[in-house]
Chains A and B, each alone.
Chain A
Amino acid sequence: MSLKRKDLLGIQDMPVEEINLVLETAESFKEVSGRDIKKVPTLRGKTVVNLFFEPSTRTRTSFELAAKRLSADVINFAVSASSVSKGETLLDTARNIEAMQADFIVLRHPMAGAPNILAKLLRASIVNAGDGGHEHPTQALLDLYTLREKKREFKGLRLAIVGDIAHSRVARSNIYALTKLGAEVRVIGPPTMMPLEVERLGVKVFYDMDEGLRGVDVIMMLRLQLERQGIALFPSIREYSRLYCLTPERVTLAAPDALVMHPGPINRGVEIAPEVADSVSSVILDQVTNGVAVRMAVLYLLSGGK
């Protein structure tokens, strides 16, 4: 089995069968991560380059572990985005990396569509590890994997995504994935954080968090980007928290066995109360664990699944 594509750029153009294939494949790789010797020879001799133009610990580490557990050689290449705008272009940087015979380039970039450019012009497989406000496909896949573990069925699942929908790649990828799989998706946040015509993505919009959370099976919190306060999107962190922080009281509005998710890193006390983040309903750390398995599956399936 393999993905019949060179690159993983986003969920929007990914058919349901491919999503399911990744999730099924990840299951066996999760088993590998639970072993005493957490390594298989699947990608021995392959080179994976993590090309990160944005600081990231979790995603980069997760990809690095995934590649290493598949026995690939991994190089981490961190570039500060500011130096890039003056110096070498993204394409030149990537061409140099490809010239060193990289098989995979895992790209994290602050600008939407950056991986699409590389995918068009390079032979290496491009894996999007987050591009601006566009997509973060492996995050959505690991979220799906976690949901499937806990809830089994996507169809009819009621799910609320809370926060800055307009600027969130995690929200977009999850909206594309979950609506495809038949879940009912709500988005909750202030109108300043809702992109224009967001309803056309097949979601229901709520400005009132309490109303939006009523009866949902899953609450997916987004990290608040603190630098967006002031004139930009909200008046103060204080007001934002009062309106949109997931408190224990708010969790009770959801279905009794509702799950709480967060892509991390969390701002304790800002968008999520510490006692909620650490509660039994929180699957935040399961998400992290599953991230490695899902990324192993993605690398494996893109390499031809041999």
Chain B
Amino acid sequence: MSVIIKNGRVIDPGRINGPADVLIENGTIAAVGSGLKAPAGATVIDATGKWVLPGFVDLHVHFREPGFEYKETIATGAAAAVAGGFTSVCCMPNTQPVNDNQSITEFILDKAKAAGLANVFPIGAITKGSEGKELAEFGDLKKAGCVAVSDDGKPVMNGMVMRRALEYARAFDLPVVDHCECTHLSEGGCMHEGQVATEMGLHGIPSASEDVMVARNLALAELTGGRLHLAHLSTAGSVRMVREAKARGIRVTAEACPHHFLLTEEAVREFNTNAKMNPPLRSRKDVEAVKAGLKDGTIDVIATDHAPHAAFEKEREFDYAPFGIVGLETAWGLALVLAEEGVLTVEQVVAALTIQPARAFGLAKGTLAVGADADVTIVDPEAQWVVDPGQFKSKGRNTPFAGWKLKGRVVSTLVGGRVVHP
């Protein structure tokens, strides 16, 4: 079975950035180059005026299944992923039950296979039940298909447990992903602690609650030599510390989410629960620091932290509404704003969505190299569109970006050489 994508501009960071055709044979990339001949019977996709990119890789999604299928299922999550150009997603283990064992991991992989859309890579829990006490069986989790471990959303508060996790994970070369939040400092908080929270009388989550845990985790990564990945950095302090740690050669990678480089605490005014996420939207100074971190490579990865919730859960008192927003179907248009603003080049934006996340977790994805799986995202860089949550494939409609005019839209997504979107 052959597919040929013709006449597009191929952007495969570090490899090619220019007009080329992409030939796919039996689900893998067979050739990338000018004037490739379509084999007999090949499906021809005309990408004139389009960009042809490696399929995006998202290291941070919540697909809610098992346990919270009313918010999202693996099938609807995967549909949202491919609609947003993501061909590989890593789903966090905070399901019910928690993905802390082989059978849950297998369940997730079965559901993903049945959906037949994006590649779904489960992330296992660091501790049993994500309770922060005893380590989960990393060996089993890895064998079953987990690509990293994390207690996302329930930060590992006990420093000794985190130390052991980083050490033990080395045996399996698993990255340990931490949502950096000191839950003592953030207790009762629902937005960034700063001027807007002061005006609104809402309880704040200080930047320090993230900073102290980033500092601890970096010290433990240095101590153990473990592979540390820091989820959704949101503060100037985090960026500064990660920059310093990288300069000293500590093994750490970091991600940032579009909302943390595009929105500030101001978005919360009017008690907008769709601007409530954890870590919270921070100050202008933090936003600038996150962008600077992306620019100088301190932050390797753009991830979405796709966190769908039912509408009724968000139509609540701000304090009671759950944290989180959906992100898969807006990420590309939002990430391109960085190129528009001159923070990153287009190639750097693509790298932060493809090869860099793939490398952070050691996934053989995010490239159009010959022999790679033919996961390809074709985008129209000029297409203007307005974010309409009603059109999302995700069950979640919870986005602060509704009504935003974006430039750059995913027009077609291929996974293993098969068109899965539209």
Contacts and interface: CB of A to CB of B under 8 A. Distances in A.
A156 to B, nearest CB: 25
A113 B199 contact: no
A197 B315 contact: no
Interface residues of A, number: 28
Given A134-B201, A135-B201, A197 B194 contact: yes
Interface string B183-224: 000000000011101111111101000000000000000000
A113 B202 contact: yes
A196 B200 contact: no
A135 B271 CA distance: 13
Interface in A42-92: 85, 89-91
A197 B284 CA distance: 14
B316 interface: yes
Contact of A197 (B198, B201, B312, B318): B198
Interface in A152-202: 166-167, 169, 172, 195-198, 200-201
B382 interface: no
A112 B198 contact: no
B198 A111 contact: no
A169 B199 contact: no
B270 interface: yes
Choose among A89, A111, A113 the residue with the greatest number of B CB atoms under 10 Å from its CB: A113
Given A89-B312, A116-B271, A196-B193, A109 B317 contact: yes
A277 B350 CA distance: 67
B319 interface: yes
A113 B198 contact: no
- How many chain B residues sit at the interface, stated as a range, is 20 to 34
B271 A196 contact: no
Choose among B194, B204, B270, B315 the residue with the greatest number of A CB atoms under 10 Å from its CB: B315
A114 B201 contact: no
A117 interface: yes
Contacts of B195: 196-197, 200
A112 B318 CA distance: 7
Given A111-B320, A116-B271, A89 B315 contact: yes
A117 B199 CA distance: 17
A32 B73 CA distance: 62
Choose among A90, A172, A195 the residue with the greatest number of B CB atoms under 10 Å from its CB: A195
B311 to A, nearest CB: 11
Interface of A: 12, 85, 89-91, 109, 111-114, 116-117, 121, 131-135, 166-167, 169, 172, 195-198, 200-201
26 contacts: A12-B199, A85-B320, A90-B316, A91-B316, A109-B317, A111-B318, A111-B320, A112-B201, A112-B202, A112-B319, A113-B200, A113-B202, A113-B317, A116-B271, A117-B317, A132-B202, A132-B319, A195-B204, A196-B194, A196-B198, A196-B204, A196-B206, A197-B195, A197-B198, A198-B198, A200-B195
